[in-house]
Structure 1
Amino acid sequence: METRPTFATDTTARFLIIDDHPLFREALHSAVSMAYPKVETIEATTVAEALDTLKGGAPFDLALLDLNIPGVQGFDGLLQIRTSHPRLPVVIVSGHEDSRIISQALSYGAAGFIPKSSRKADLASAIRDVMEGAVYVPQSYQPQPGAARDEDRSDLIRRLATLTPQQMRVLNMLRQGLLNKQIAYELQVGETTVKAHVSEILRKLHVYSRTQAVIEVSRLDQAELFRDADTGT
């Protein structure tokens, strides 16, 4: 399990707030300032802006991410940040409080899920919990049954089985971070063909981005499947 350092409340912390609503960015800044008076907050209004911010400068201790942000769908913003900065704890701060959404966010590696309806003092307390190594969820959260998670895993395996050997090769290369032109070079095909394969992979896996496809598959040990693909025709 990934471990995180704990922080005293008088420690200087560096937070990235990712939200397109200025009033709520201010509310989050006020909450984290209550939790950590010496906090430094940097704001981003899009995931793309957040990723640019994360590329350079001093590292961040925590990111607070709104799910409903322009330019991304569903959990794609969380997935992009998690894949590019896997050691950065990301807490979802959202207007949604459905237990299924919370469970999915946690399964994608969120360090916590804080409802936007929380009072400032509760926001501050939740942030402190996460910074001390806990995974925060609201009291209303009802963990989803393990059987449902097992069924999701089995369903993903069934979807993977529908991919052709060539599509499995492309998926394996996506997991390696290769761009379309690099995949085309490796497979000796045109970029248009690669794009068609990627579209089919997304359709068959029931995901909407290559990032989500990589995250979904990373939840399984697919060594044998990818090895089979490498030797298939």
Structure 2
Amino acid sequence: MKLRILIADDHDMVRETLAMFLGADGTVQTTAAHDLPEALAKMRSEGPFDLVLLDYSMPGMKGLDGLRTAIAAHGGNPVGLISGTASRLIADQALEMGAAGFLPKTMSAKSLVNAVRFMAAGEIYAPVGFMSGKEDPEETDFEKVLSDRERQVLRGLMHAQSNKEIARDLDLQEVTIKLHVKTLCRKLDAKNRTDAAMIARDAGFV
């Protein structure tokens, strides 16, 4: 009997490449979704699957909130996370929440197929090199463009704090926070403070 895998990713090339690798030997049947709402709809109409793979930063995910929703919707069946941007901390948190595994998009095709089979069999998969930090840089590309202070302010934005609240927490003037928010929006190409927080969350910044 074929393994049934749902691959949810907003990049066509990623979905198609994964489907090609997994379906190469004819033992895996893949179904595609391009965002979380479509994945949830297919889980309801065509599930349960032997494994659901979710891209961490696709539309609808809202960070790990989407993973939590999918795990609940899949009724105890395996749900794994794939990502090209998420940090080791995000991977740790995903596993703690009950994810079947975490797959960096940098994995080789052979490793990827083996990992998927492992998760579909009910095992937990986490790549040792990535999880030990050997393949994880000290800072992500996203973090490198930000100063330490900007990161502190950004965390405040991600917690929906006002400039006044952030200023109080960091012991700074409110006008200083306002300037940092302006700089953050420019650096992240964000429309406003809410957009900056969403961009940061999608990039796996914590």
Q: Same fold (TM over 0.5)?
A: yes
Give per-residue Cα distances to partners, 1:193-225, cap 9 Å, x unaligned. xxxxxxxxxxxxxxx9xxxxxxxxxxxxxxxxx
Separation in structure 2 between the aligned mates of residue 13 and residue 66 of structure 1, nearest angstrom: 20
Q: Which of 76, 88, 108 lines up with 1:99 in the alignment?
A: 88
Separation in structure 2 between the aligned mates of residue 19 and residue 137 of structure 1, nearest angstrom: 19
Residue aligning to 2:7? 17
Residue aligning to 2:180? none
Structure 1 segments of 4 or more deviating over 3 A? 141-144
Count, aligned residues: 134
Residues 134/53 of structure 1: CA separation in 2 closer, same or farther (3 Å cut)? same
Output the TM-score relative to the length of structure 1. Answer: 0.53
Separation in structure 1 between the aligned mates of residue 71 and residue 61 of structure 2, nearest angstrom: 14
Alignment of structure 1 residues 106-117 onto 2, 5 Å: 106-117=95-106
| Residue 46, structure 1, aligned to residue 66, structure 2 | no
Separation in structure 1 between the aligned mates of residue 122 and residue 41 of structure 2, nearest angstrom: 26
Q: Aligned with 2:31: secondary structure?
A: strand
Letter in 1 for 2:83: S
Q: Is the 8 A contact 1:65 1:92 kept in 2?
A: yes
Deviation of 1:114 after TM superposition, in Å, equals: 0.7
Give per-residue Cα distances to partners, 1:147-174, cap 9 Å, x unaligned. xxxxxxxxxxxxxxxxxxxxxxxxxxxx
Residue aligning to 2:120? 131
Separation in structure 2 between the aligned mates of residue 93 and residue 112 of structure 1, nearest angstrom: 8
Identity of aligned residues (%): 37
Q: Which of 46, 58, 67 lines up with 1:57 in the alignment?
A: 46
Give per-residue Cα distances to partners, 1:68-107, cap 9 Å, x unaligned. 1113311121111112223220111111353211110101
Residues 38/75 of structure 1: CA separation in 2 closer, same or farther (3 Å cut)? same
Separation in structure 1 between the aligned mates of residue 47 and residue 70 of structure 2, nearest angstrom: 16
Q: Is the 8 A contact 2:43 2:73 kept in 1?
A: no
In structure 2, runs of 5+ residues without a counterpart are 134-196, 198-206
Separation in structure 1 between the aligned mates of residue 118 and residue 109 of structure 2, nearest angstrom: 14
Q: Is the 8 A contact 2:48 2:74 kept in 1?
A: no
Deviation of 1:22 after TM superposition, in Å, equals: 0.3
Residue aligning to 2:170? none
Deviation of 1:130 after TM superposition, in Å, equals: 1.5
Q: Is the 8 A contact 2:84 2:105 kept in 1?
A: yes
